[in-house]
Amino acid sequence: MTNKKIIALCDKFFSFVAEVFTPVGYFCFLVVYLFVLAVMILLLGIVLSSLALDLNNKVPFLPVKIQKTLEEGRTAVPVIFGNMYLEGSIVPQDDAMAVKLFHMAAKLGHVDSQIFLGIRYYNGEGVPQDYAQAAEWYLKAAEQECADKHNICASLPIKLGEMYYDGKGVPQDYGQAAKWYLKAAEQECTDNHDEECTNLLTRLGDMYAKGLGVPQDDAQAAAWVRKATEPAERLRKAAEEEAERLRKKAEEGNADAQYRLGSMYAEGRGVPKDEVQAAAWYHKAAEGGHALAQITLGEMYLKGFIVPKDEAMAVEMFRKAAEQGRTHIQIRLGKMYYYGKGVPQDYVQAAAWYRKAAEQGKEEAQIRLGDMYAEGLGVPQDYEQAEEWYSKAAEQEEDGWVQIRIGDMYATKGRNVPPDYVRAVAWYRKAAEQGEDLAQIRLGDMYAKGLGVPQDYEQASAWYRKAAEAGDSYGKYKLAVMYVTGRGMPQDKAQAAVFYYKIAEEWVHEENFSQGDRYYYGHRDMPPDHVQAAVWYRKAAEAGHALAQIMLGNMYAEGLGVPQDEAQAEAWRSKGCEGLRKGDDSPDKLFVLGYKSRVVRDPDLRTIIIPSFEMREKYCSP
């Protein structure tokens, strides 16, 4: 039945309905019609779900269904399911199944599938590495003139040129290599001047110079090399012109031009690299009130880079920039006063600079100012003020760690101020409900001890379990204790043993780090032994323990227990500092120090919470 006949029948049907039914009846009919249509859509969804389930379980009829679509020349089904298996969406991730499905589509000429297979065979991803297969699929895709269709197609001529040039998967053939390189140069490298095109054009120049696959032609060789170098030459000339333009403005006293000219000297862009000239222009810009120049000079004085190391001068430069409202420098200056770096230690000044940044909404400054109110450093001790600043920080991103910090403050008040366990519980609960495993443990402790809430071992066990299920080792430890004592759950020593075994495996690197500490610093009557310290730190470092990596790096730097080796020192320190930053994209998050190993030795010792930015200052600052 043709589409026209179907349309005609539908028109007659609706005309009949319009004649027979009243407006109300017509409306009811329309409602019933829409209901039937919704049911059909629902049934279609169920059918598609069952199809996906059959794929998941690899039921035999699925390939038959796909084969039928292939016989009709349709590639959508295998491509859709291939991507699902590739990404692990709806069905389990399965590279082998994805490759099989893309093979089906590629054989029918589906370009993206052909490219996918070429990449997979070339890199050996999900299939054995096979350059011949890669070349075969790349050629099939390239022959379909897909450069205008898909960005990845555009790079195929370059890839094929390389394979023919190197004889990788195809017989070495400089003529074919030149053919594909020329095609790539025409398609992609007329206006594009990225590194890949620069290398391609340079290679073509070399092939013309040597007569590889093309007639030897020095003029052509020079032309291709010129095409490769022209963009860099244009950039060089543009940079020189920019430097000259900036120089004129800089000599007239323009602070921004002075700063930018200094940067060009520092980078060797448009002018010969000259760090002394860079510093001179930075000084001129800083004197003119340019905040970025002041910050740059402050860093240079702090590190002793180009200029003599002078922490007092660094502080002065930072102060000038901070007075212009640069919040990150206000925090930096606050820290220098807090730690007495470049200035006498002064908590009052530290709090003042933290306040300036905190009032502008900087989360790190709000946390630090909260700390100072909680401890009574530089400001009167005031838990209400501390909570207010912590809360401002927590509200910015619903930061669970800051909420834990507030809970800790109320649970451990000092200086003759009694703890406020009810408020502590409220803050722990906020963080726990966000999934913070440490807060879940804290809340479990409060229920176990009856602090701020009625004593309830079942609730304690429930919160410990949440932390344990999230992978927290201390949560597993707490749950194991509950299984041993039978508090909040049936006593089950076998289950407790399972958790203890898991904990032992997880904490071994922490214990290795602690053992390294004992040997490094000496323990009780045992004198320091740096050779043994290096052995134990290495065990923990190789397991990924960030602080152990830093300590091992320090030992290589100083030649303690190991031969002095700056390369090894830098490598281990870099790994450690990267570890401190892992999962912490901003300096506002918090870091747990000594969490697991210390708790094992003393279960009642509260976990030490230290801001990650303080950790980085201590171990990773230049």
Q: What is the mean pLDDT of residues 121-138?
A: 85
- Specify the DSSP element, H or E, that contains 449: helix 437-449
Regarding pTM above 0.75, the answer is: no
Whole-number Cα distances in Å, 47 to 38, 42, 44, 61, 513: 14, 9, 5, 14, 56
Q: What is the pLDDT of residue 3?
A: 52
Task: Give the span between the Cα atoms of 424 and 426, in whole angstroms.
Answer: 5
How would DSSP label each residue in 228-289? HHHHHHHHHHHHHHHHHHHHHHHHTT-HHHHHHHHHHHHHTSSS---HHHHHHHHHHHHHTT
Q: What is the mean pLDDT of residues 438-464?
A: 91
**CB neighbours (10 Å) of residue 5?**
9
According to DSSP, the β-strands at 608-611 and 590-593 are antiparallel
Task: Give the span between the Cα atoms of 190 and 516, in whole angstroms.
Answer: 60
Angle (CA) 301-307-309 rounded to 5° is 45
Q: What is the mean pLDDT of residues 510-532?
A: 78
Contacts of 239 (CB under 8 A, 6+ apart): 264, 269, 270
* 103 has a pLDDT exceeding 60: yes
Task: Give the span between the Cα atoms of 533 and 538, in whole angstroms.
Answer: 8
Q: What is the pLDDT of residue 100?
A: 80
**CB neighbours (10 Å) of residue 311?**
15
Residues above pLDDT 90, as percent of the chain: 13
Q: How confident is the model at residue 56 (pLDDT cuts 50, 70, 90)?
A: very low
More confident residue, 616 or 531: 531
* 172 has a pLDDT exceeding 50: yes
DSSP assignment, residue 310?
A: -
**CB neighbours (10 Å) of residue 407?**
28
Average pLDDT over all residues of the chain:
76
Q: Where are the beta strands (DSSP E) in 429-491?
A: none
Asked which of 28-32, 243-247, 273-277, 376-380 is least confident by mean pLDDT, the reply is 28-32
Which residue shows structure tokens 């834990």?
404
C-alpha torsion 109→112→118→122, nearest 10 = -170
Task: Give the span between the Cα atoms of 420 and 411, in whole angstroms.
Answer: 6
The phi and psi torsions of 592 (rounded to 5 degrees) equal -95, 120
Q: How confident is the model at residue 599 (pLDDT cuts 50, 70, 90)?
A: very low
Query: How many CA atoms does the CB half-sphere of 539 hold within 13 Å?
Result: 16
Contacts of 14 (CB under 8 A, 6+ apart): none
Q: What is the pLDDT of residue 61?
A: 35
Dihedral of alpha carbons 221, 225, 227, 233, sign: negative
Task: Give the span between the Cα atoms of 136 and 125, in whole angstroms.
Answer: 16
Q: What is the pLDDT of residue 588?
A: 28
* Amino acid, res. 522: G
More confident residue, 595 or 210: 210
- As beta bridge partners, residue 590 has 611
Contacts of 182 (CB under 8 A, 6+ apart): 204
pLDDT by residue (tens digit) across 367-421?
Answer: 889 888 988 899 998 888 888 888 888 776 556 777 888 888 888 765 556 788 9
Task: Give the span between the Cα atoms of 114 and 139, in whole angstroms.
Answer: 9
* 1 has a pLDDT exceeding 90: no
Nearest Cα to Cα of residue 617 among 341, 305, 310: 341
| 595 and 607 Cβ atoms separated by less than 8 Å | yes
Asked which of 152-161, 199-208, 444-453 is least confident by mean pLDDT, the reply is 152-161
* 621 has a pLDDT exceeding 70: no
Q: What is the pLDDT of residue 547?
A: 80
| 322 and 314 Cβ atoms separated by less than 8 Å | no
| 459 and 447 Cβ atoms separated by less than 8 Å | yes
Q: What is the pLDDT of residue 444?
A: 92
Task: Give the span between the Cα atoms of 560 and 573, in whole angstroms.
Answer: 15
Task: Give the span between the Cα atoms of 425 and 576, in whole angstroms.
Answer: 34
Q: What is the mean pLDDT of residues 337-357?
A: 91
Nearest Cα to Cα of residue 356 among 321, 404, 387: 321
Nearest Cα to Cα of residue 350 among 383, 314, 379, 385: 379
Residue 587 structure tokens? 């300096």
Angle (CA) 361-366-367 rounded to 5° is 145
Task: Give the span between the Cα atoms of 310 and 345, in whole angstroms.
Answer: 17
